[in-house]
């Protein structure tokens, strides 16, 4: 366990698997129970729940969007009900069953601000942004650093389109992204030891790679709240924590952003976080992954199978870009 001197209540490593479960013993016990329960839910598809309440979403008319045939899968899509009820969203708790609590988040009106080193900073209402962007559906793999994985049909637009709209100046070499801050509805944000708001970042080369996708929907309909509505990122060659949910801010800057998970556990979670089966997490192997909603375990691939699209970004970086933490 590498986060030693930091917190007095950390657990022995055998007790922990998911991200940052070293914080609080009571929490960990709760989480272990929740994981067991989620296994039960996953095997029971016919569940009536508030998992998907997108009927009144003002962007509903844009769905389903046309599928882009370029993005193919080597595996079956994960079952929709499982994907929508097994989530990581620390704003609403550290367990996987946050889908009901997440319904408390108001997602309209929602404005997105473009800040920092750009020609002219601006804010845009998310529906105006969605209306402007070329929406399409893409089938992507997703690999959580906790060694579970899924395959989902996202709807959204290339992040490059947002970068073009933002008109960054040449000194902008990174883009920082942040999630909302609403401790009144998001109980997790009332836990002061986490560095809220959730923050992530990409280099400009990463953000403008065609694979970097801003997501507004899934399974042919608007994104449910628990999955990061109204706007989240999908960078499928990186561990899932890079794919920040419920984005309110894009800040173009020359400094490398300090991310949420880096702050929480700098020896375990880093800026690059490229999927690499050969670089174990300090507390577990990354060689294989569990496909949620199935009994299957499959080998993990370098860059989560997207090396052809993204490896060139990291050429000349001395392998740095392949590393989980730094
Ligand atoms: N704001 C925010 N974004 C987040 C997270 C989070 O806790 N808060 N969790 C991340 C992690 S660890 C993963 S694996 C994915 C999970 O996405 P899903 O719940 O839609 O499967 O969201 C990522 N984005
Ligand atoms: Mo994750």
- pLDDT tens readout for residues 210-227: 999 999 999 999 999 999
Give me ligand 2 centre to Cα 239, in Å: 6
Q: Which of 191, 196, 240, 286 to mutate to test the pocket of ligand 1 (most atoms within 8 A of CB)?
A: 240
Cα(31)–Cα(18) distance, integer angstroms: 9
Do 178 and 199 touch, CB atoms closer than 8 A? yes
Do 223 and 235 touch, CB atoms closer than 8 A? no
Give me ligand 2 centre to Cα 18, in Å: 8
Residue 156 CA from chain centroid, whole number:
14
* Residue bearing the CA closest to ligand 1, atom 24: 244
Whole-model pTM: value is 0.86
**Ligand positioned closest to the Cα atom of 141:** 1
Cα(120)–Cα(117) distance, integer angstroms: 8
Average pLDDT over residues 266-295: 94
The contacts of residue 15 (CB under 8 Å, 6+ apart) are 21, 28, 32
* Residue bearing the CA closest to ligand 1, atom 16: 88
pLDDT of 12 > 50? The answer is no
218 lines ligand 1 (CB under 6 A): no
What is the radius of gyration, based on Cα positions, of the chain? Answer: 19
* β-bridge mates for residue 176, sequence order: 201, 251
pLDDT of 237 > 80? The answer is yes
What mean pLDDT, rounded, does the chain reach? 86
**The domain 13-325 is classified under which CATH number: 2.60.40.650, 3.40.720.10, 3.90.420.10, 3.10.560.10?**
3.90.420.10
Give 274's pLDDT tier (boundaries 50, 70, 90).
very high
Give me ligand 2 centre to Cα 111, in Å: 25
88 lines ligand 1 (CB under 6 A): yes
pLDDT at 56: 80
Give 317's pLDDT tier (boundaries 50, 70, 90).
confident
Give 320's pLDDT tier (boundaries 50, 70, 90).
low
pLDDT at 316: 80
Helix then strand then coil, in percent of the chain rounded to 5, is 25, 20, 50
Higher per-residue pLDDT: 321 or 139: 139
Task: Tell me the three state secondary structure of residue 199.
Answer: strand
Average pLDDT over residues 141-156: 98
């Amino acid at each position: 366990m590498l986060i030693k001197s930091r917190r007095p209540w950390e657990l022995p490593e055998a007790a922990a698997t998911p991200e940052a479960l070293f914080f609080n013993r009571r929490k960990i016990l709760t989480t272990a129970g929740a994981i067991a329960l989620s296994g039960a839910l996953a095997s029971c598809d016919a569940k009536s729940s508030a998992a998907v309440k997108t009927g009144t979403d003002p962007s509903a008319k844009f769905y389903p969007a046309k599928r882009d045939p370029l993005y193919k899968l080597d595996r079956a899509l994960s079952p929709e009900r499982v994907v929508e009820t097994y989530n990581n969203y620390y704003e609403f708790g550290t367990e996987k069953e946050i889908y009901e609590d997440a319904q408390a988040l108001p997602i309209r009106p929602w404005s997105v601000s473009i800040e920092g080193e750009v020609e002219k900073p601006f804010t845009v209402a998310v529906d105006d942004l969605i209306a402007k962007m070329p929406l399409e559906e893409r089938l992507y793999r997703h690999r959580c650093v906790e060694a579970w994985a899924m395959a989902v049909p996202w709807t959204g637009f290339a992040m490059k389109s947002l970068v073009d709209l933002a008109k960054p100046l040449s000194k902008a070499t990174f883009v920082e992204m942040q999630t909302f801050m609403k401790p009144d509805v998001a109980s997790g944000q009332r836990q002061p030891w986490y560095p809220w708001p959730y923050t992530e970042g990409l280099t400009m080369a990463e953000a403008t790679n065609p694979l970097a996708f801003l997501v507004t929907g899934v399974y042919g309909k608007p994104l449910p709240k628990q999955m990061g509505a109204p706007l989240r990122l999908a960078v499928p060659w990186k561990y899932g924590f890079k794919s920040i949910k419920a984005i309110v801010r894009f800040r173009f800057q020359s400094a490398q952003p300090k991310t949420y998970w880096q702050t929480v556990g700098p020896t375990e979670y880093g800026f690059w976080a490229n999927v690499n089966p050969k670089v174990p997490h300090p507390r577990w192997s990354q060689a294989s992954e569990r496909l949620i909603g199935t009994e299957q375990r499959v080998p993990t691939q370098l860059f989560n199978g997207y090396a052809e699209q993204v490896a060139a970004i990291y050429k000349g970086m001395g392998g740095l870009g392949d590393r989980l933490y730094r």
